[in-house]
Amino acid sequence: MSNATDSLSPTASKRQPFLVGACRESARDERRVALTPASARYLSELGYRCLLEQGAGVAAGFSDAAYREAGVEIVAARAVLLAQVDIIIQVRPPSSDEIAAVPSDKILISFFWPAQNAALLAAANARRITVLAMDMVPRISRAQKMDALSSMANIAGYRAVIEAGNHFGRFFTGQITAAGKVPPAKVLVIGAGVAGLAAIGTAQSLGAIVRAFDVRPEVAEQIESMGAEFLLLDFAEDGSGDGGYAKPASEAFIAKEMALFREQAPEVDIVITTALIPGRPAPLLWPAEMVGLMQAGSVVVDLAAEQGGNCEMTVKDALITTDNGVKVVGYTDFPSRMATQSSLLYATNIRHMLDDLTPQNDGVPLVNMADDVIRSATVCHQGDLTYPPPKLTVPAIAKPAAVTPVDPAVALRTAQAAAKKATTIQSVSLLAAGLMMLLIGSIAPASFMQHLIVFVLACFVGFQVIWKVSHALHTPLMAVTNAISGIIIIGALLQVSSTSWLVTGLAAVAVLIASINIVGGFVVTRRMLAMFQKSEG
C-alpha cells in the first residue's frame, strides 16, 4: 500500500491545467449528470478545463448550449472524451466494460460501493486508476459539503412522499367540505436519518399526521421538532452505531419492534421505510404480516429496495399491488426522478471534492493521503488497494460526555460563593471608579465633568445590556444597537467642534466606533435575511 502523503496524478507532468470530463450515464433510467454549467464555472476558477459528452445533461434539463456558455467543451464520442481527460466524474459506478475502456492512470470520482463491487475495484486497481468513491466520504463536520449520500438521501425522502401521494389517491391534509369531512392521512416513517427526516418534513408540510420510529433514541428531539410523533419503544437498548448509522438490533429488541409495528399497521395509510447501512443488506422491518394488516388503498414506499428492501413484499424497480389492495413501491431511482435538483446537488458535492483536491487552485489535483476525508474516499490509488480505509481519529458523531452527579448542597454553596465574589469585585470596581471621578472633578471644569459622567454611564449601561445577552441572540439586537449607535454619532458630532482637544478626540473616537458598529450591524443583518430568501436561480 502506498504511504505517500502528497501524490500528484501520474499525468501531472504532461500539461496544465488538468481536464475534467463527464460522460453520459449508462445505467438504465439514470437521468442525472455529474457536471452542471454552474459547477463547471467553479471548476474553471480552480484552474480546470471541463469536457462533456454530447447530450449528457439533456435528461437533467441542461442543454449543450448552456454548457458551452459556461466554457465547457462538448465532445461527440465517449471514447474521445476518455482519451483526453485526466479526471472522470460520474454518478453511478462504472460497469466492468466502462472500466476496461478507461485509459490507465486516470482519476475517477463517482459512487462506487467498493464493499459490493470487489471485482470492479480490482479491475480499476489493475489499470492503476485512482478511484475516489463518493459513498465513502466520512460523515464528519468538515466533509459535509462532499456528503453526496446525504444529498441524494434528502431528495429520495422528499420524492418518496410525492410518490406515495401519487399512488395514495386521497388528500394528505384533512378538510371539511360541503360534501363531508375528509380525515388527514396518517404517515409512518421508519428510520429518521437524512431521508427519513426529509420525508417527515414533506409529509408534515402537506398536512398529514406523521409518526416516526428509529432505534436511535437521540433522534427523538429532531423528529418532534418537525411536528411528528416519535414512537417510543419501551426497551433498554441503544441502537446508535458508528458513522451516524443504526447498528443491528438484538432479537429481543426486534420482537418489541414488531409488536409496535403490528399496532400501527392497521391505522396508518402510508409507510415509508428508509433504514439502510451502506455496504450491508437492508434490514427487514415491514414483513408480509404488516402489509396484510394494512387497509386497502394504503401505500408502502421502500427506499432500501436496492439493497433488498425493508419490506418483505418489495420488488426491486417495480410497483406491485398485494392481494389486500396495498401498493408497494420499490423504485430505486428516486433521486433520478428529480434529475435537475439531484444533478445540481451532486455536482456541488463533486466540485467541493475537487476543491479539496486542488489546494493551490492551479488545476492540478493533489491526492493527499494524510487528509482524513481524501484518504477515506480513496479506494485505490496508483496500483495500490487502499480500501478499507483506516478508522478515523475523529468520530463522526461525538458521544455525549458522562455527567457526574453533583450534590445539591455543594452546588448551592458553590453558587453562593461565586455570587459573593462577583458582588465584591463589582463593589470594589464602583468604588475605584468613584474615586477616579472625584480626582478628575477636582481639576476639570464643571462642563467637562457633565459630559464625562454621561459618557461613562452610557458605556457602563451599554456594556451591561450587551454583555448579559446570549451570543446566539446578538443578531436580533442589531436594529437596536444601530439605533443607539446613531444617537451616539449625533451626540459626538455636536462635540467635535469643542474648544477642548480632549473632548474633540473623544468625540472623534465615538464617531469612528459607532460607525463601525452600524456598518457591521447592517452587514450581519443582511446576511441573516439572505438565509431566508429564495434564490431566483
* Beta-ladder partners of 51: 21, 73
What phi-psi label fits residue 383: left (phi over 0), alpha (psi between -120 and 50 degrees) or beta? left
Cell of 365: 489535483
CA distances from 10 to 18, 55, 108, 222 (A): 11, 30, 13, 46
Cell matching residue 525: 443583518
DSSP for 193-239, written as a single string: SHHHHHHHHHHHHTT-EEEEE-S-GGGHHHHHHTTPEE---------
Dihedral angle of Cα 423, 425, 426, 432, to the nearest 10 degrees: 140
Residue 257 near residue 231, CB atoms below 8 Å: no
Q: Which of 245, 331, 346, 387 is catalytic?
A: 245
Tell me whether residue 150 is one of the annotated catalytic residues.
yes
* Residue corresponding to grid cell 436594529: 479
Dihedral sign for Cα 219, 225, 228, 234, please: positive
* Cα–Cα distance for residue pair 339/30, rounded to 1 Å: 8
Residue carrying C-alpha cell 430505486: 332
Q: Which of 147, 214, 333, 371 is catalytic?
A: 147
Measure Cα distances from 167 to 331, 335, 381 in Å. 13, 18, 46
Pick from 353, 308, 361: nearest CA to 332: 308
Burial (0-12, 13-18, 19+ Cβ within 10 Å), 337: middle
From the list 139, 159, 211, 216, the catalytic residue is 139
Q: Which long-range contacts (CB under 8 A, 24 or more apart) does 442-445 make?
A: none
Angle at 473 between CA 471 and CA 476, to 5 degrees: 135
For residue 75, give the 3-state DSSP assignment: strand
| The residue count for the chain | 537
The residues, any chain, with a CB within 8 Å of residue 278's CB and separated by 6 or more, are 113, 115, 135, 149, 245
88 Rama class: left (phi>0) / alpha (psi -120 to 50) / beta: beta
Choosing from 26, 144, 416, 427, the catalytic residue is: 144
Q: Is 372 a catalytic residue?
A: no
Q: How far is CA 362 from CA 40, 46, 358, 365, 465, in A?
A: 15, 6, 7, 8, 49
Active-site residue, selected from the candidate residues 39, 110, 150, 264 = 150
Check whether the bond before 10 is cis (ω within 30° of 0). Answer: no
Distance CA 431, CA 410 (A): 32
Q: Is 280 a catalytic residue?
A: no
Q: 57: which DSSP letter?
A: T
Per the annotation, the verdict on 245 as an active-site residue is: yes
Strands 209-213 and 186-190: parallel
Residue 351 annotated in active site: no
Mind giving me the DSSP string for 184-205?
A: PPEEEEE--SHHHHHHHHHHHH
Q: Supply the residues annotated as catalytic.
A: 139, 144, 147, 150, 245
